[in-house]
Structure 1
Amino acid sequence: MSYRNGQRLPLDGGGTVRLSVNPRARRISIRIDGRAGEAVAIAPSERRLGDAVAFVRAKTGWITERLEARLEGQPLSPGQTILVQGQPTRLEASGKTGAARLTADAEGPVIRSGGEGEAFARRVEALLKRLARDTLTARTEVHLRTLKQKPVRISIADTRSRWGSCSPHNRSIRYSWRVVMAPPAVLDYLAAHEVAHLVHADHSPAYWSVVHGLVGDHRPFRAWLREHGPALHAVGR
C-alpha cells in the first residue's frame, strides 16, 4: 500500500496519525501535536512512509496514552499558575488598569496585571512575549559572538510546532514566545540551535558538533521540550 505526505490515518485506540515527510530527518519518529490533538509520524522520504506506518502500529498503545494525557487549553486568568523560565508563577489580578508585571512575594514569582477576561489575558501574554524577546535576544547575541557571526534579525511568534527557525540567507531567526516558559538552559539551547544553522543549514554531524561546542550535550534539552511541549502549547488557549 502506498502512502502520501500529509495523509491522516485512524488509530486503533482512537485518534489519528498524520504522515509527514521531513528530508532532514535521519530516522523514523513519532511526536504528539498537542495543539492539533493528533500524532505525527515523520519519515525522511515518501518511500519510507510505509515504515513509519508500521512503527505507528507497533507504538499504538503509547500514542493513545499520550493523546489521552494531552492538556486542554486554558485561558490565561487570575489564579492560574504557569511556568516562567521554568519557575511556577502565579497570575493575579491587580484590580487596576495597568500592564502586566513580573514580580515576587513570599510565596514566589507572580505576574500581576490589570484588566479582566480577555484584556487580562492579552496583557499577560504581551509580558511573556517581551520576556521571550529579551531573553532569547541576549542568548542569541552570546552565541553569535562565540561563532563570530554577524547580527541577525529576531522575531517572536506563536508557531504551531517549531520552537524556532533560522533563515541563513536573510539572517533572520524566529522564536516561539512559549519557550520562555522553559528553564533557562533550554532557552539557551534553543538559541544555540538556531545560531548554529548560520554555520550549517542542515542537521548533519558537523552541525551538531557546532551545537555541542556551544551548550554541550543537547539531548536533555530536546527531551525537555518533547515532554513538556504540549503543556506549553496549551497555555492561553
Structure 2
Amino acid sequence: MQYRNGQRLPLEGLTARLSVNPRARRLSIRIDARAGEAVLIAPSERKLAEVVAFARTKTGWMRERLADRPQGTPIEPGALIDLFGQPTRLTATGGAGAARLTEDADGPLIASGGEGEAYARRVENLFKRVARETLQTRTDFHLRTLGQRPVKMSIADPKSRWGSCSPHNRSIRYSWRVVMAPPTVIDYLAAHEVAHLVHADHSPAYWAVVQRLIGDHRPHRKWLRDNGPALHAVGR
C-alpha cells in the first residue's frame, strides 16, 4: 500500500495520522490529545510504511494514552470552567439573555439564558469577548514596548494552535481558549506572537525578544503543554 503525508487510517480501533518530518531522526509516535488520534512520524514518505508497521506493534500503548486524554467539559449549567485560571460556575437565568460575568459569595460565576446549544453558544461568546479585550490590551502593551506599529488582531478557535502571527500583513490570531489560563500565561502568549513581528522563527534571537518582554517564559510554555489539552477539550 502507498502511504502519503497527512493520510489518516484506521489502526485496530483507533485513528492514526501520517506525518512526514524531514528533521526527524527516527520513526516515532506522538499522541495528539486534542485531535484524539495518534500521529505516526517518519523522516520521508518512503519511510511511512515502516512507521505504520511499527505502530501496529504499539496499538495497546496508543489506546492507553488516548484513553488518558482529558474528557471534554460540557458548557452547561452547573459546570465549572476556569476563567483567568479561576474556577467559574455556570448558571442558567432562564429566558434568552446573553451570558454575563458576575460574582456571589461563592466566587465568580457566569449567568446566561438559552438552553442546550444556545446556552453553550452564549457562554462561549462571552469567553470570546473577554479574550478579545484581554489579548488586545496585552498585545498593545508589548507592541509599545518593542516600538511596533498596531496589528490586526482576531479571535478564533483552532484545534491545536494557541496563536499565530503573520508579519507580512501584520496580523495576529489567538485562540479564545487561552483566556481560561492564568493571566501570566495569557500575557506570555501575547508576547510570543508579538515577538514574531521581530523574528518570524524560533531562533535564540527570537526567544531573547520574548525574554525581554516577560522574563523567563519557560514556566508558561510548560503550563500550556501540561494543561492545554484540557482547555481544548472544553465544550467538545
Q: 1:27 to 1:97 in 2, by over 3 A?
A: farther
Q: Does structure 2 conserve the Cα–Cα contact (< 8 Å) formed by 1:99 and 1:113?
A: yes
Partner of 1:108: 107
Partner of 1:225: 224
Distance 1:57 1:113 in 2: 47
Distance 2:185 2:57 in 1: 31
Distance 1:127 1:195 in 2: 24
State how 1:136-175 maps to structure 2 within 5 Å.
136-175=135-174
Q: Does structure 2 conserve the Cα–Cα contact (< 8 Å) formed by 1:71 and 1:234?
A: yes
Shift of 1:35: 3.6
Distance 2:103 2:28 in 1: 41
Q: 1:28 to 1:190 in 2, by over 3 A?
A: farther
- Secondary structure of the residue aligned to 1:170 is coil
Partner of 2:127: 128
Q: 1:209 to 1:61 in 2, by over 3 A?
A: farther
Shift of 1:212: 1.3
State how 1:40-119 maps to structure 2 within 5 Å.
40=39, 64-119=63-118
* 207-216 vs 157-166, which moves further: 207-216
Distance 1:217 1:25 in 2: 28
Amino acid at match of 1:191: A
Shift of 1:98: 1.6
Structure 2 unaligned runs (5+)? none
- Secondary structure of the residue aligned to 2:90 is strand
Q: Deviations over 1:120-149 (max 9, x none)?
A: 111101100000101111111111111110
* 150-159 vs 31-40, which moves further: 31-40
Structure 1 unaligned runs (5+)? none
Amino acid at match of 1:138: T
Residue 39 in structure 1 maps to residue 57 in structure 2: no
Distance 1:56 1:33 in 2: 15
- Secondary structure of the residue aligned to 1:189 is helix
Distance 1:188 1:55 in 2: 41
- Secondary structure of the residue aligned to 1:212 is helix
- Secondary structure of the residue aligned to 2:168 is helix
Q: 1:78 to 1:25 in 2, by over 3 A?
A: farther
User: What RMSD in Å do the two structures reach over aligned CA positions?
Assistant: 3.2
Q: Deviations over 1:79-99 (max 9, x none)?
A: 011111111111000124321
Q: Does structure 2 conserve the Cα–Cα contact (< 8 Å) formed by 1:24 and 1:203?
A: no
Q: Does structure 2 conserve the Cα–Cα contact (< 8 Å) formed by 1:34 and 1:233?
A: no
Partner of 1:5: 5
* 53-62 vs 190-199, which moves further: 53-62
Shift of 1:211: 1.0
Distance 2:96 2:212 in 1: 46
* 157-166 vs 64-73, which moves further: 64-73
Residue 20 in structure 1 maps to residue 16 in structure 2: no
Distance 2:153 2:227 in 1: 24
Q: Deviations over 1:39-72 (max 9, x none)?
A: 3356787689799889989998875443111233
Instruction: From the CA coordinates, give the structure whose radius of gyration is larger.
Output: 2
Distance 1:192 1:216 in 2: 10
- Secondary structure of the residue aligned to 2:150 is coil
Partner of 1:183: 182
